[in-house]
Structure 1
Amino acid sequence: MDKISVIVPVYNVEKYVKKCLESISNQTYKNIEIIIVNDGATDNSENICKEFVENENRAKLYTKENGGLSSARNHGIQFATGKYVLFIDSDDYIAEGMVEELYKNIKAEDADVSVCGVYNVYSDNQSPQCKEEIYFCCEKDRFLKEYFIGEKIPGTICNKLITYEIASKISFPVGKIYEDAFYQFELVKYAKKYVVTTKPYYYYFHRENSITTKPYTIKNMNCIEIYSNFYDYINKEIPSLLEYAFFRLSYAHFMVFDKMLMIKDYKEIKEYREVLGFFKKNFWRIFKNKNFRKGRRIAVLMLKLNVKLYRFLLLQDLKKKGVNT
């Protein structure tokens, strides 16, 4: 059995990190090394990690100054000695058979990347990202198509086992958010063969103060930046997938725009008119894109007609979900 390097960046997650590390330690696949990177945590995370390392001889703890998630992941891969690499976020956890399933599939198909399904976990419930459990092997074209749609291949990097040969060539972008998307933009340039099971093994925890529930900051434009990069790449290399890339780019604009509208003086945001202009310019293209659910196509119509009404309904929906605005 080949060794697998599991890299876990840690920063101020004292409530979650023990469960995460124990879920890795309890894997049915035993030939793993657990590389924990303490990214300058200021809570009790480091002590929890130290105690874990004392009792788990496959684990090592490395401490560095705070540099962010990308910096911690990049630091961790320097110490990887496995044939394959897996990144796990320290506020998430994994089913005990996840590593074994990913490894079994990547070996069976002689693939570069092995993907499994994800549970979206909230404070009061959890649900699988993909309702249907399927298995398939594919090349880059289908991988990107499914990645852009987002159901069978979720956006996180943490449900993907990658050969060290490829992972060692790619860095996460320091100073940016949506780092997983930037990483996967580089990944598809190297990886040729992918194996996917939508059966969920990774538990992705949505915290109340996570990036997905916070109002707009300028860094949210990183999301539009990376999917613009994807769109340009697809336009040049795989034009048959252009409408799928456009779907993802449009989705990024929706996400950023919704965050802008969480702010009272949203019209004062420098980038507001740029993002709104995207919807006005591409109204028909979005409205006719069948990858969008009916609700989103109605939303772009509402944006075209009345932004204030769209904002009112958005804030009502966020309030129902318990998001403070």
Structure 2
Amino acid sequence: MFKFLKKDAGPSISVVVPLYNHGRYIKSTLESVLEQTSAADEIILIDDGSTDNGFGTAERLLERTPRARLFRQENAGAHNTINRAIGISRSQYIAVLNSDDLFAPKKLERCRELIAQRGTADLIVGGVGIMDDDGARQRGGVAIDWLARSRKFLEKYGLPQLSLVNENYVATTSNMVFSRRLWDLSGGFQPLRYCHDLDFLMFAFEFGSVILDLDEEHIVYRVHQGNTIKEDLSRVRVEIAAVIAEALHQSGPRLLSPAFGELDLEAFTEVLRNKNVSDMLCFFQAVRPAFATRTAFYDYATGPKLNEAFRRIVSPA
């Protein structure tokens, strides 16, 4: 049963759920919202042109939830779907939940507590648990190793924004609770298939107040063969290079410590080695000032002609 918030329970939070062909997961995903210890003020779910039974499952589960609204649309991609859902929502804060992930039971309660303690916050991210396709918790494997590396880099260098570029310890949009102010200021999630989350994080660090609550688990991220990031590694590399170029354009020295010292150089060099996109990055840095907005730059950077050129010139067969 949906729980209504008391007036003194903290800021209002809308949970937005972009659903796409996750019929086998959506029940547990939505249950993780309905079972929150501090309830969402509303749930906005948009089915992005799915071809399975997920929307019907969501309808049945939410039919007695008065603050849930469900919509269907032709396939438009994750960033468009999230932006539309946020535009429909009405709360002060937005929590994204992808249709294959889970919220930890106290996620929204914890976020409200942090906002109350800080007084203001534009973005809150927390710790991440990992589960497999069947929902079993993972204690080892590729994803666990990736998260461990990302945290180790952050702890070693103490550079949270640069550490995200190295390996995204936030992991997913499901791990973001953010203010409507920040979303409005950012112009929404950008036209990137794979890295719209990373771009939004870069923007938040530059223009907002960020709370890292990494020692408290906020979400459980599902690792499976259908994860979007696994589709086309060459296109992922292009988007990563474009987002790094944009971060350098916007933040520049603020990616590093005020000292600009040896550890900064070591960290920056390690990022370049790990990402292996220096050639594309240099090109994007050269052309970025020619574009009035980051949206226009991303439209150019991810265009099919340039992507094909990168395949032929930068990564020839």
- TM normalised by structure 2 equals 0.70
Residue 181 of structure 1 aligns with an amino acid whose one-letter code is: L
Question: Is structure 2 residue 176 aligned with structure 1 residue 154?
Answer: no
Paired residue for 1:46?
Answer: 55
1:61 matched to 2:70:
yes
RMSD: 3.2
Post-superposition shift, 1:226?
A: 1.2
Asked if the contact 2:195/2:236 (under 8 Å) is kept, the reply is: no
Partner Cα separation in structure 1 for residue 270 and residue 82 of structure 2? 29
Q: Please tell me the residue identity of whatever aligns with 2:58.
A: C
User: Which structure 2 residues correspond to residues 138-177 of structure 1 after superposition, within 5 A?
Assistant: 142-148=159-165, 150=167, 153-170=169-186, 171-177=188-194
Match of 1:86? 95
Q: 1:7-22 alignment to 2 at 5 Å?
A: 7-22=16-31
- Paired residue secondary structure (1:23): helix
Is 1:253 aligned to 2:276, yes or no?
Answer: yes
Segments of structure 1 that go 5 or more residues without pairing to the other structure are: 134-140, 255-268, 278-325
Deviation of the 1:109 alpha carbon: 1.3
Q: Structure 2: which amino acid aligns with 1:271?
A: F
Counterpart pick for 2:245 among 228, 236, 243:
228
* 1:113–1:160 contact (8 Å) kept in structure 2: yes
Alpha-carbon contact 1:148-1:245 (below 8 Å) kept: no
Secondary structure at 2:198 match in 1: helix
> Aligned equivalents of 1:221 and 1:229: distance in 2?
12
Flag the 1:147–1:174 CA change in 2: closer, same or farther, 3 A: closer
d(CA) in 2 for partners of 1:245 and 1:232? 15
**Alignment correspondent of 1:122:** 132
Whether the 8 Å CA contact 1:10–1:39 is kept in 2: the answer is yes
TM-score for the superposition, normalised by structure 1:
0.68
Gaps of 5+ in 2: 1-8, 152-157, 278-307
2:199 aligned with 1:189, yes or no?
no
- Within the alignment, does 1:208 sit opposite 2:221 as a pair? no
- Give 1:100's aligned residue: 109
What's the counterpart of residue 123 of structure 2? 113
Q: Distance in 2 between matches of 1:246 and 1:52?
A: 49
Q: 1:56 to 1:175 in 2, by over 3 A?
A: same
User: Structure 1 residue 3: deviation in Å?
Assistant: 1.4
Q: Is the 8 A contact 1:14 1:45 kept in 2?
A: yes
Equivalent residue letter for 1:154: V
C-alpha distance in 2, partners of 1:184/1:242?
22
Count of aligned pairs between the two proteins: 257
For 1:21 and 1:251, locate their aligned partners in 2 and report how far apart those are by CA, in whole Å.
36
1:101 deviation in Å?
Answer: 0.9
Q: Percent identity?
A: 21
Aligned residue number for residue 299 of structure 2: none
For 1:31 and 1:209, locate their aligned partners in 2 and report how far apart those are by CA, in whole Å. 28
Instruction: Give the SS at the match of 1:165.
Output: helix
The Cα of 1:272 is off from its aligned counterpart by 5.6
TM-aligned CA distance change 1:175 to 1:30, over 3 Å: closer
